[in-house]
């Protein structure tokens, strides 16, 4: 039986429904499912293009490792990234409140809302992400709100990820 989650841009009041990819990314999908609900500040991708994400504390008992990875996510992809010590470059623009420093591990949970994404960072090279879910409802509204984040700013916006049992 398929499992679903809801991703919501809280301030903008926009949400979408996504199906977990249990067959393609079982370890990552299970780790995310067990950690829900999750909430964090929103950031818009600088390098990847059409990406909105949040940074959260590690939550898996054991990191899922690489599975169902991509460097070219498509609209609707939900990706999981692990970062340790690479987000401390001032060029990334994170404020101290984002909790980044040289040694801290953070989990980046992202969704992609448009085409032509490429997970290439000038400082570290390719940054493959585990695709653990796909948006099945609400991508157009989420994309419009995400474009507003890009043009209007992310300050004060939160990304909420929770289980969705709606049928």
Q: Domain segments of the chain: what residues?
A: 4-162
What is the total residue count of the chain?
A: 167
**Total Cβ atoms within 10 A of residue 139:** 20
Task: At 148, list the tokens.
Answer: 């507003």
pLDDT over 60 at 167, yes or no: no
User: Domain 4-162, what fold?
Assistant: Cyclophilin (2.40.100)
Least confident of 26-30, 56-60, 93-97, 118-122: 93-97
Q: Is 102 exposed, middle or buried (0-12, 13-18, 19+ CB in 10 A)?
A: exposed
Over residues 123-133, the pLDDT tens digits come to 788 999 999 99
pLDDT > 70 fraction of the chain, expressed in percent and rounded: 87
Report the run of H or E that residue 27 belongs to, with start and end.
helix 26-35
Helix (H, G, I), strand (E, B) or coil at 142: helix
Least confident of 21-25, 120-124, 127-131, 148-152: 120-124
Average pLDDT over residues 88-114: 69
pLDDT over 90 at 91, yes or no: no
**Total Cβ atoms within 10 A of residue 115:** 11
What pLDDT was estimated at residue 123? 77
Average pLDDT over residues 130-145: 98
Average pLDDT over residues 127-149: 97
DSSP, residue by residue, 61-74: SS---S-SEESS--
* Degrees to nearest 5, angle at CA 116 with 111 and 122: 85
């Amino acid at each position: 039986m398929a499992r679903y989650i809801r991703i919501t841009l809280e301030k903008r009041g926009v949400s979408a429904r996504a199906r977990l990819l249990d067959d393609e990314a079982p370890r990552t999908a299970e780790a995310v499912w067990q950690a829900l609900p999750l909430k964090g500040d929103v950031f818009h991708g600088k390098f990847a293009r059409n990406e909105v994400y949040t940074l959260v504390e590690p939550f898996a008992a054991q990191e899922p490792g690489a599975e169902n990875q991509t460097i070219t996510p498509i609209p609707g992809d939900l990706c999981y990234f692990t970062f340790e010590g690479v987000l401390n470059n001032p060029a990334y623009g994170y404020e101290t409140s984002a909790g980044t420093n040289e040694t801290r591990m953070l989990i980046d949970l992202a969704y992609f809302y448009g085409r032509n994404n490429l997970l290439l960072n000038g400082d570290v090279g390719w940054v493959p992400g585990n695709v653990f879910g796909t948006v099945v409802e609400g991508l157009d509204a989420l994309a419009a709100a995400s474009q507003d984040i890009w043009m209007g700013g992310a300050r004060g916006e939160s990304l909420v990820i929770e289980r969705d049992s709606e049928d």
